[in-house]
Homo-oligomer: A and B are copies of this chain.
């Protein structure tokens, strides 16, 4: 006489990682833009295309210190038979070239100074000498100059109005230099996405609490906060969610307007007290609608993904914003945030391509057994002397191995299948931030 029941907790339909990413990105939306000072814009994402505000260089510039000459005057010059040129001017960086360089003359010139009219080359100082000859200041040029030598012509790098950086571009130091060159003292960037972080699980203590029997500390919230910061977001740590699905619903609703996205950790599995899982099951299920940022109807986007670790990873659209419900297991929480949270953060900041940089690597050791789901293995990377890259799995198979999260340099993707993968096989891997 059996009365065991099913409440649907095992009926979760797994979708592929790519489809789950697509649903998350469709719901991610973009933050507004704001202006920040140039020296603080590094690491932010540009909110609009920026154009060159002048030619660059803005005038023909000397590439080094020496003499501006007419190359033709030096055609026969050598150390034994230097060309003697009358010095008509000295042009400092920041100065103006007042005198033209006529045949038989030269101008002393400093790095970055404007090249005088008439001159078409700069000879480096080390190939010259200067003194007085016939009562006139004279340069001896000991080497033949090539027309154009050591001169950066006006507009060589950029023409006025040409694009210098695209919207969504992550501003690296080189971009900062370019923006400074063109006078962008303040830079339009996407606002940092504000991400509310909740933990669930009645076994969780705050990090500062002493251990007690049966309890562990919530280490996921701080880890996720660090990941949010790595990708330009601003974490808002709310601590632990209550145990009851209705109370969870109220807590999430309570922060409307303060966060662009909500991340929860834990409570997504098949346990009797998995409040997030129970709450999410109660939502309208995704049926192929294109989820628009700003749409009103709450909706479960997915509650099972064909991946390991982290197959119970879930996502929903609630109160007009994306909710990412990650596994409570630290390894699965990490992988889940990399696969879904990181692309979402990048998309919110306008990234044209929000996915991880990928590489192909040689698997350094056998992966013994197969898996019905694609596996995302934390690996270290070895760059060998022959120019190849090897991916070495760290503590694979144990998603609870917290220690290996810190050492991981990439996630190697082992496709699902009945067998594992042999050492020497090429695998795709996703770079993790270093």
Query: Chain A residues in contact with chain B, CB under 8 A?
Result: 1-4, 10, 38-43, 54, 56-59, 63-65, 90, 92-97, 108, 110-114, 125-126, 129-133, 152, 157-158, 164-165, 171-185, 201-204, 206-211, 213-227, 229-230, 235, 237, 269-273, 328-330, 334, 357-362, 383-390, 400-408, 426, 431, 433-434
- Counting from the closest, the 4 A-B pairs by CB-CB distance are A174-B405, A174-B406, A42-B226, A180-B219
Please name 25 pairs of A and B residues whose Cβ atoms are closer than 8 Å in the assembled complex, sorted by A.
A2-B131, A3-B132, A38-B222, A39-B225, A39-B226, A59-B214, A110-B273, A111-B329, A125-B270, A157-B401, A157-B403, A173-B230, A173-B334, A174-B223, A174-B405, A177-B222, A177-B402, A178-B403, A179-B219, A180-B223, A183-B217, A185-B206, A185-B208, A386-B426, A434-B434
A93 touches B426 (CB 8 A): no
**Which residues of chain B have C-beta atoms less than 8 A from A40's C-beta?**
225
**Which residues of chain B have C-beta atoms less than 8 A from A222's C-beta?**
38-39, 41, 176-177, 179-180
Task: Kindly state the separation between the CA atoms of A85 and B281 in the bound complex, as whole angstroms.
Answer: 30
Q: A41-B222, A65-B270, A183-B217 are known; give 12 further A-B pairs, CB within 8 A.
A: A39-B225, A92-B272, A173-B223, A174-B406, A174-B407, A177-B334, A178-B405, A179-B219, A180-B219, A180-B220, A181-B219, A185-B206
Task: Kindly state the separation between the CA atoms of A173 and B337 in the bound complex, as whole angstroms.
Answer: 11
Answer whether A4 and B360 are a contact pair too, CB < 8 Å, given A112-B201, A177-B222, A177-B402.
no
- B57, B112, B213: which contacts A96 (Cβ < 8 A)? B213
Copies, count: 2
Task: Kindly state the separation between the CA atoms of A113 and B406 in the bound complex, as whole angstroms.
Answer: 25
**Which residues of chain B have C-beta atoms less than 8 A from A203's C-beta?**
92-95, 112-113
**Which residues of chain B have C-beta atoms less than 8 A from A217's C-beta?**
180-183
Task: Kindly state the separation between the CA atoms of A308 and B224 in the bound complex, as whole angstroms.
Answer: 42
Task: State how many angstroms separate the Cβ of A163 from the closest Cβ of chain B.
Answer: 11
Task: State how many angstroms separate the Cβ of A407 from the closest Cβ of chain B.
Answer: 7
A235 touches B39 (CB 8 A): yes
B183 touches A402 (CB 8 A): no
**Which residues of chain B have C-beta atoms less than 8 A from A182's C-beta?**
217
- B63, B110, B211, B224: which contacts A54 (Cβ < 8 A)? B211
**Which residues of chain B have C-beta atoms less than 8 A from A400's C-beta?**
63, 152, 157
B183 touches A110 (CB 8 A): no
Closest to A208 in B: B185
| Most chain B beta-carbon neighbours within 10 Å: one of A39, A221, A329 | A39
Task: State how many angstroms separate the Cβ of A127 from the closest Cβ of chain B.
Answer: 11
Task: Kindly state the separation between the CA atoms of A4 and B220 in the bound complex, as whole angstroms.
Answer: 71
A183 touches B201 (CB 8 A): no
